[in-house]
Amino acid sequence: MKIRSYTSNDEGKVVELISLFRITLSELKSVTRNVDLEAAKEELYGYLEQDYPIYVAEIGDRVVGYLVCKVIDDTVWAESLYVSPEFRRKGVGSALYQKAEKLAAELGAETVYNWVHPNNHGIIAFLSERGYDVLNLIELRKKRDSEELIQNMMVCDHEYRF
């Protein structure tokens, strides 16, 4: 396995992976979404325009995962991490994530920050295995008209819907 920086030759595969990532995130909210390569391409171009570091995991000649880091001053956010399902639990995500941690260390930071949906048990377990267990911020917003909120959760004395 090789972890390397994104090149323009990776565009087609990374666009496909971004689209699959967006479907996976939608499913966490019980929303059905179809593959939308055009939206994924726009998302990729947005990352490139912002000069976000993008890393890809390559096995043989196949790109099987990607990681996008958002860097603000000396703070690194793991903006988007996705590994093709057939390559999960084989060290691909860990190798990609190590690039984010290395980038943070190079900037003098002690940690990588992550936005995580509360019922994304896969990424929560992934991050927990790496020692990421400090709840930093809670993002709050109003319910969208078309949104169906299916769960509640308690954080300290406060109940939230998601």
Give 79 or 137, the one with higher predicted confidence: 79
* pLDDT digits 0-9 by tens, 13-45: 999 999 999 999 888 877 788 889 999 999 999
Instruction: Tell me the per-residue pLDDT of 63-81, one tens digit each, with 9 for 90 and over.
Output: 999 999 999 999 999 999 9
- How distant is the alpha carbon of residue 115 from its chain centre? 8
Q: Which domains does the chain have, with CATH numbers?
A: 2-137 (3.40.630.30)
Question: What CA–CA distance (Å, rounded) separates 139 from 135?
Answer: 11
DSSP state string for 61-123: TEEEEEEEEEEETTEEEEEEEEE-GGGTTTTHHHHHHHHHHHHHHHTT-S-EEE---TT-HHH
- pTM of the entire structure? 0.89
What are the residues whose beta carbons fall under 8 Å from the beta carbon of 59, sequence distance 6 or more? 1, 2, 87, 92
Amino acid at 106: E
Contact 116, 130 (CB under 8 A): no
Alpha-carbon dihedral angle through residues 11, 13, 19, 24, given to the nearest 10 degrees: -140
